[in-house]
Amino acid sequence: MKLNFASLWPMLFIGMGFLLLVAGGLGGGGWGDGLFGPTPTATPEQIVPTRTPVGTAASALATPPPVFAAAVPTPPAGLPLVVPPAHNPIGAITAAQRWGATFPEGAYAQTVADLGLGFGSYLNWHADLETEGTEAMYWRMVRVGEEGLANDTWESLTELAQTNPGSFWLVGNEMDVKWQDNVTAEQYAAIYHEVYTHLKAADPTAYVGIGGISQPTPLRMAYLDSILLSYSTSHGTPLPTDFWNVHAFILPEEVDSWGVDIPPGMSAVRGEQYGLDEHDNLAIFAQNIIAFREWMAARGYRERPLVVTEYGILMPPDYGFEPERVAQFLAGTLDFFTTAADPTLGYPADDNKLVQWWFWYAVYDTADRYPAGNLYNPTTNQLTQVGEVWARYERE
Render pLDDT for 106-135 as a digit per residue (tens, 0 to 9).
Answer: 655 555 555 667 778 889 999 987 776 667
Q: How distant, in Å, are the alpha carbons of 91, 269, 299, 303, 304 from that of 94?
A: 10, 42, 27, 18, 16
d(CA 113, CA 242): 30
Residue 306 pLDDT exceeds 50: yes
Confidence of residue 354 (pLDDT cuts 50, 70, 90): very high
DSSP assignment string, 94-113: -TGGGEEEE--TT-HIIIII
Q: At residue 353, what are phi and psi to the nearest 5 degrees?
A: -65, 145
Three-state DSSP state, 338: helix
Confidence of residue 379 (pLDDT cuts 50, 70, 90): confident
Q: Which residue has the higher pLDDT, 122 or 3?
A: 122
Residue 135 CA to chain centroid, in angstroms? 23
d(CA 180, CA 33): 7
Beta carbons within 10 angstroms of residue 237's beta carbon: 11
Residues 40-97: tens digit of each pLDDT = 333 334 577 755 433 333 333 334 434 444 589 999 999 989 987 777 777 777 888 8
207: enclosing H helix or E strand: strand 207-212
Beta carbons within 10 angstroms of residue 270's beta carbon: 16
Confidence of residue 344 (pLDDT cuts 50, 70, 90): very high
- The answer, as to whether pTM is greater than 0.95, is no
- Give the per-residue pLDDT at 396: 57
Query: Dihedral of CA 270/332/6/243: which sign?
Result: positive
Mean pLDDT, rounded, for 170-178:
97
| 137 strand-pairing partners | 121
- On average, the pLDDT of the chain sits at 82
Query: 5-39+69-74+88-392 in CATH: which number?
Result: 3.20.20
Q: Are strands 99-102 and 121-123 parallel, antiparallel or unpaired?
A: parallel
The answer to whether the CB of 364 falls within 8 A of the CB of 375 is yes
Burial of 379 (0-12, 13-18, 19+ CB in 10 A): exposed
Q: Which residue has the higher pLDDT, 89 or 321?
A: 321
123: enclosing H helix or E strand: strand 121-123
Residue 13 pLDDT exceeds 80: no
Q: Which residue has the higher pLDDT, 340 or 27?
A: 340
169: enclosing H helix or E strand: strand 168-173
Minimum mean pLDDT range among 68-72, 177-181, 303-307: 68-72
Widest pairwise Cα distance in the chain: 60
- Give the per-residue pLDDT at 105: 64
In eight-state DSSP terms, residue 44 is: G
| 282-298 and 218-235 helices, crossing angle to 10° | 20
Q: Which residue has the higher pLDDT, 53 or 265?
A: 265
Mean pLDDT, rounded, for 252-266:
96
- Give the per-residue pLDDT at 86: 73
- Give the per-residue pLDDT at 34: 32
d(CA 26, CA 29): 11
Q: Which residue has the higher pLDDT, 60 or 292?
A: 292
Beta carbons within 10 angstroms of residue 230's beta carbon: 20
Mean pLDDT, rounded, for 201-228:
97
Confidence of residue 364 (pLDDT cuts 50, 70, 90): confident
Residue 150 pLDDT exceeds 80: yes
Contacts of 21 (CB under 8 A, 6+ apart): none
Residue 316 pLDDT exceeds 90: yes
Minimum mean pLDDT range among 40-54, 134-148, 202-216, 278-292: 40-54
- Give the per-residue pLDDT at 96: 86
CA dihedral 89, 359, 185, 177 (to 10 degrees): 180
